[in-house]
A and B are shown apart, each in its own frame.
Chain A
Amino acid sequence: MPFLRRVVWAAIACGAAVCLGAIALSRGEQISSIWLVAAAACTYLTGYRFYAKFIAARVMALDDSRATPAERLDNGHDFVPTNKWIAFGHHFAAIAGPGPLVGPVVAAQFGYLPGTLWIIIGAVLGGAVQDFVILFASMRRDGKSLGQMAREEVGKLGGFVSLVTVLMIMIVLLAVVALVVVNALAGSPWGTFTIAATMPIALFMGLYLRYWRPGKVLEVSTIGFALVLASVFGGQWIAGSSLAPVFTLSAMGVAIAIIIYGFFASALPVWLLLAPRDYLSTFVKLGVILMLAIGIFVVHPNLQMPAFTRFVDGTGPVMAGKIFPFCFITIACGAVSGFHALISSGTTPKMISSETDATQIGYGSMLLESFVAVMAMIAACSLEPGVYFAVNSPAGIVGKTAEAAVKTISGWGFPVTAQQMADMARHAGEVTLFGRTGGAPSLALGMAHIFARGGGGDAVLGFWYHFAIMFEALFILTIIDAGTRVGRFMLQDLLGHVWKPLGRTSWMPGVIGASLMVVIGWGYFLIQGVRDPLGGINSLWPLFGIANQLLAAVALSVATTILLKMRGPKYMWITCAPLLWLVIVTFAAAWQKIWSPVPRIGFLAQAAQLEASGATSAAVQAQIFNNRLDAVVCGVFMLLVAIILLDSARLWFGILRGTEDRRVAEAPFIPSRLNAEEA
C-alpha cells in the first residue's frame, strides 16, 4: 500500500476511534449529531477496507476468474450478470425495511449511546459479516436458499427447522409491524386518509401498467407519487372538514382494516395491488432515506437525549427490561438481522457478475442499512426527552390524562408540559401525541423537525410529519401484503404434504384457506397487541427481536459450518464470535421474557399477576391466555434454534475430530468468460 494511502487510512481509523470516544465519554451536555455520523462513517470505512477485504481475500478467496451463477445460468430473468452498483442498490432496497427505523427509536429509551454503539459495532463485526458470508455461500451454490444450504451442509433436520422458524417469525413480524401502523394511524384522520388513499392509487397504478401503458413502471410510479403527495395535502383538508369523523378510527378499527387489507392483498392478483404498491414504496423509501441523510448533514441537530437514561435499570416505559440483553434484541435490523440471510440467499446471488463484487454488495449494503439505523437514532434523540417519552409511553404506565402523563414523565427527570405537547400536536396536525407508542410517530416527529428546520419551521411541521407517517405506513403495508402472500406459500408448501390439492397455488379454496390462516395468525397477535394495556410493543417487539436474532443464529451456524469445512478451525471465529454473542443475548432475553418474576418483563409473571387480581372478565382472561401463549411461542423459538445449534455443534466436533465429512457442496469451478473478456 503506498505511503500516502496508509496515512489516509490511519487518519480514518483514528477518526473512528476519536469520534466513538467522543460520543462514549461525553456526559452532561448536548452533543451534535455529526459526531454520530462521523463515528459511523469512519468505523464503516475502516471495517470495509480491512475486515471485509480480509475475509474476502484470506477466508473466502474470492476469485474473479470463477464464473458466477449469474454468468453460468444466465436466463435473462433471475440469473442475470448485473453491474455491481445496480446489484448493490437492488440488494439494499430489498434488505431495508422498517426494522432499522423503528428498533433504534424504541431503544432510544436507554439513551443514545448503547443503541448507537450496538448499531455500529454489531453491523461491522456481526450483521455485515453474516450477510456477506451467506451471500458468498449462496453464490457458490447456484443461489440456493438458506434452508437448502442448511439441509445440505448441516443436515435434513436443520433444513426443516429453518422452514418452520421462518414461518413463525413471519407471523410475529407481520403482527408487530402492523401494530406500528395501528399506533400511528389511530385517532388520526389526516394519516388515515393519506394511507387509505394509497389503496385506490395503487389500484389505478396496477390498471395503468396492465392495460393503458404496459411496461412504463417509472412513469406510473411518478404519477403515483404525485397522487400520494396530493393525498398528504388532502389529508390536512379532510382533518379539518366534516369528513374527519369518517377517517377517525380507533386502534381496533385500524387493526381490523389492516387485517382485511392483508387478506385481500394476499388473495388478489399481484399485478392489481401488491406489485404497484411495491414499486411505489421502494422508490419512496430510497428517496426519503436520502432526504433524511441530507437533512441531518444540513441541520445536524443536537442530541437532546442523554447518553444513558435511568431506564438502563429495566424500568423503561417504552419496553421493559435491562440494557442487557434487551437493547441488543430491540435493535435487530440495523445491527444484525437474520432476515437478511433470506435475501442474501435469494435474489442477489443470482445477479452478481464477479465474485469480488460480493464484498460491496453483501458487506457494504448492511453497512448502509446500519447507517439508516443511526439516522433513526439521531431523529429520535433530537427530540426533547420529555416529548419522546410522552409520545412513546403507554397510558397504562404514565396515566390516562395529559396532566397525569406530564407529571409522571417530568418526575422521571424529563420535563415536559401539557401545553408544550398540545402545541406540538397542533403543529403536527394531530389531536394528541400522547401515548402514540410503536416508534413510528416519534420517528416521524423527529424527521419532521429535521426537515422543517431545513426551511418553513412550524408552518410545515404538519406536512412533514404526515409525509413521514405516509412513508413508514406505505412500506410497512407492502411488507404486510407481500409477507402474508409468502406466508401463504410456505403454509401451502407444508399443507401440501398432508393433502396434495392444498399445496396447489392455483386452487382457489386452498389459496383462500391458507391466506385466511396466515391472516388469522398475525391478526391474532395484532389484536392482542392492540388490547394490551401496556401498549403491545412491550410484548410484541421483544418477541420479534428474539425471533429475528435467532434466525441470525441459524444463518451464522450455517456460515460457520461452511467456513469450517472450507478452511478448518482457523477462521471459524469470524462467524462463531457473533454467533456466540447472539446465542447469549437471545437466550438470555427469551429466558427473561418467559421466567422473569417482574410482571412487565416475564409473560408468565404477568399472567400470574392478572390471575391473582381475581378479575374474571373476558378481557382479563384473554390477557392471561395471551401472555401464556407468548411464553410458549418464545419457548418454541428457543427450542427450534437450540436443535439447529446442537445439530451444528455435533457436526463441527465431528469435522474437528475427523469423523464427519468436510466436503462442501459447492458448484464446480468453471472459468469466467465475462471477466476474461474484460481482462
Chain B
Amino acid sequence: MRALRKIAAGVLELLREIGDERAYARHLAAHGTRHSAEEWRKFSDERFRAKYQRAKCC
C-alpha cells in the first residue's frame, strides 16, 4: 500500500512538473514572492517564450 501511495505521489509530481506547476512554485520561492494572477502571468510569459522556441519532437 505504501509503495502504491509512493507511485501515485510520484505520478502526481510528474504531472505537476509537466504542467509547470512545480516550476511556478520554484519561481515564487526563488523570487520570495507570493502567488498572484500578475505573478503567474509574468512567470508563464517567460516560461512559454523559452519553451516554444524549441522544436517539438515527431
Binding site for B on A (CB under 8 A): 75-78, 80, 82-83, 85-86, 89-90, 93-99, 166, 170, 173, 177, 209-211, 214-215, 217-218, 221, 270-271, 274-275, 279, 282-283, 286, 332-333, 337, 339-340, 342-343, 346-347, 478-479, 482-483, 485-486, 489, 544, 548
Contact = CB atoms under 8 A, between A and B. Distances in A.
Given A77-B23, A214-B37, A283-B15, A342 B44 contact: no
A75 B17 CA distance: 16
Contacts of A544: 58
Contact of B14 (A77, A89, A270, A479): A89
Given A77-B23, A210-B41, A274-B52, A86 B17 contact: yes
Contact of A99 (B17, B53, B58): B58
B16 to A, nearest CB: 7
Given A85-B10, A283-B15, A478 B56 contact: yes
B1 interface: no
B30 to A, nearest CB: 4
B44 A173 contact: no
Contacts of A75: 30
29 contacts: A75-B30, A77-B50, A85-B10, A89-B14, A90-B18, A94-B56, A94-B57, A97-B56, A97-B57, A97-B58, A166-B55, A214-B36, A214-B40, A217-B19, A218-B15, A218-B19, A270-B49, A279-B20, A282-B18, A286-B18, A342-B57, A343-B54, A343-B55, A479-B56, A479-B58, A482-B52, A483-B55, A485-B52, A544-B58
Contact of B57 (A270, A337, A485): A337
Interface string B42-53: 001111111111
A82 B22 CA distance: 11
A218 B21 contact: yes
Nearest to B56: A482
B58 A548 contact: yes
Contact of B56 (A78, A218, A286, A483): A483
A321 B54 CA distance: 34
Contacts of A209: 44
Q: Which of B24, B30, B48, B55 has the most CB of A within 10 A?
A: B55
A270 B41 CA distance: 12
A76 B52 contact: no
B37 A82 contact: no
Contacts of B10: 85-86
Q: How large is the interface on B (under 10, 10 to 19, 20 to 34, 35 or more residues)?
A: 35 or more
Given A342-B57, A479-B58, A279 B41 contact: no
A39 to B, nearest CB: 25
Nearest to A102: B58
A331 B12 CA distance: 32
Interface of B: 10, 13-21, 23-24, 26-27, 29-30, 35-37, 40-41, 44-58
Contacts of B14: 85-86, 89-90
Contacts of B23: 76-77, 80
A294 B53 CA distance: 35
Contact of B58 (A177, A270, A346): A177
B13 A337 contact: no
A90 B30 CA distance: 22
A78 B50 CA distance: 9
Contacts of A94: 56-57
B13 A83 contact: yes
Given A89-B14, A486-B52, A80 B41 contact: no
Q: Which of B16, B37, B50, B58 has the most CB of A within 10 A?
A: B58
A214 to B, nearest CB: 4
Contacts of A211: 37
A95 B56 CA distance: 8
B45 to A, nearest CB: 7
Q: Which of A75, A86, A274, A548 has the most CB of B within 10 A?
A: A86
B29 A346 contact: no
Given A78-B50, A177-B58, 6 more contacts: A75-B30, A86-B10, A86-B17, A210-B44, A286-B18, A339-B55
A86 B13 contact: yes
Contacts of A333: 57-58
A151 B17 CA distance: 32
A90 B57 CA distance: 13
Contact of A279 (B19, B29, B37, B53): B19
Contact of B53 (A97, A282, A489): A489
A282 B18 CA distance: 8
B35 A215 contact: yes
